């Protein structure tokens, strides 16, 4: 009977020690996957023409590293491209730096060049608001 009581006390003490370590479980992770991001507006001027592309970005899934109020993320950007009186859907990828609720984005898109009519990668820059 003494052995059973002794083993029970030891098991309960391990359980108590394990429950005291709950603070580390509730701490937010440094690297997180976020399915929802920001709403951004970015801009790209086309060299050699007077045409510009305006992108309305909806920050999609990505990997984010948080440092207090700051965060940096590599996201996919489902977007709408406004170019030459057209609005077309397009998917971009790129980096986003966020401070509190404001963000700076640099998404890249694979589009048809207005000059050479070949597919090229363009980088646009813009600002946004974190949801």
What's this model's pTM, rounded to 2 decimal places? Answer: 0.65
What is the pLDDT averaged over residues 97-122? 84
Lowest mean pLDDT among 23-37, 38-52, 61-75, 84-98: 23-37
Report which DSSP code applies to 23.
H
| Residue keyed to tokens 């440092």 | 67
pLDDT at residue 25 is higher than 80:
no
Q: Which of 117, 114, 112, 127 is nearest to 43 (CA)?
A: 127
DSSP H or E stretch at residue 22? helix 22-26
pLDDT of residue 93: 92
pLDDT at residue 97 is higher than 70:
yes
pLDDT of residue 34: 62
Q: Which of 51, 38, 47, 24 is nearest to 106 (CA)?
A: 38
61-88 per-position pLDDT tens digit:
888 888 888 888 888 888 898 887 888 8
């Amino acid at each position: 009977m003494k052995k059973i009581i002794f083993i029970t006390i030891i098991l309960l003490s391990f359980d108590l020690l394990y429950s005291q370590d709950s603070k580390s479980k509730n701490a937010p992770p440094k690297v997180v996957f976020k399915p929802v991001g920001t709403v951004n507006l970015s801009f790209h001027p086309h060299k050699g023409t007077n045409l510009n592309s305006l992108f309305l970005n909806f920050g999609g899934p990505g990997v984010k590293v948080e440092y207090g109020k700051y965060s940096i993320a590599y996201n996919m950007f489902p977007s709408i491209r406004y170019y030459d009186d057209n609005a077309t859907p397009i998917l971009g990828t790129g980096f986003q730096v966020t401070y509190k609720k404001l963000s700076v984005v640099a998404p890249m898109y694979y589009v048809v060049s207005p000059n050479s009519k070949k597919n090229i990668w363009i980088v646009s820059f813009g600002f946004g608001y974190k949801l």
